[in-house]
Structure 1
Amino acid sequence: MDATKPAVDDLGTETGPDVVEYEYDAETPASIAAVHAICAVTDVDPLEAPTELGFVLHEHVDPSAIDMLLGDGTGDGDVVVSFEVSNGGRYGVEIVDDGRIEVRTLESS
């Protein structure tokens, strides 16, 4: 990954204020990219995520397992990991082994 390129690319296919799509690759593991995507949909700086969002990813899923299952983002799209994160707001996260991540704001119950 070149130094001028951000660690996580916004695909530019934002379908609304409550859905963000991102990519991950060998240099940016899926677990890190997922945090960046959650931060994008919530408009939070990733460095401030634990404080601003009120959670860390490992409270909801095992980041190492996600990275191991999904690899470097060059898969064929057959492996999908989905989970929900809740911190007062609810967010659905879907990560595909072909390098795609989608974070969606869910209705609060």
Structure 2
Amino acid sequence: MTKRKHERLYQELLREQDRMQFGGTSYRQETAQLALVLSHDVKVPESLCNRVEARNFVGSLAKELSEDRVEDVAKMLSMAARRAYTNPESAFSIDMKVRLEEKRKRFKSRGIRAKS
């Protein structure tokens, strides 16, 4: 594993943990912390983009966790890996950027915060 690739995943998980500090439940905060700790042991961070691979990775390292917790940590790792290793929003086509902005405005007008 290259250090740079692991750093991208680690930074994304740090951002997720920061987001959980200001509005996440204690369960989600613990999930973010577990994902951050387990990310140190991953050999190929891009493999976590696949949810099944992420679930297998978490299940093999954290046998003491409940199935629900394993699923939640795997989901957090998978989503962080996708954000870290897929094209950033700046690489979207102009059409996609326009549709994304329209979606954000629509959600904002309803008082709903859009993640995308």
Q: Same fold (TM over 0.5)?
A: no
TM-score when scaled to structure 2?
A: 0.28
TM-score when scaled to structure 1?
A: 0.29
**Larger strand share, 1 or 2:** 1
